[in-house]
Amino acid sequence: METIKIRDEYIKLGQALKLAGLVESGVEAKFAVQDGKVQVNGAVEYQRGKKLIDGDVVSYEGHTFKVTV
């Protein structure tokens, strides 16, 4: 499992997908989330603006990463 390190208290889901290199743009992140292709901590997430905090695990198209501070 890969990790992405954040400097702030949280990062939004769309931004995290871009930071992890799983999507190219915010538009691509928006559609991936709206289509129910993204899971946060094992549950499908439909909010692109969902705040991810230290320890959250995100899965998308066979790739998984963990958010760390």
- What pLDDT was estimated at residue 4? 95
pLDDT of 47 higher than 90: yes
Which domains occur in the chain, in start order? 2-68 (3.10.290.10)
Q: Comparing C-alpha atoms, which of 27, 24, 9, 22 is closest to residue 61? A: 22
Rounded to whole angstroms, the Cα distance separating 34 from 32 reads 6
pLDDT of residue 28 exceeding 90 = yes
pTM, rounded to two decimals = 0.93
What pLDDT shows up at residue 1?
86
Indicate whether 36 pLDDT > 90: yes
What burial class does residue 28 get, using C-beta atoms within 10 Å of its C-beta: 0-12 exposed, 13-18 middle, 19+ buried? middle
Average pLDDT over residues 4-15: 95
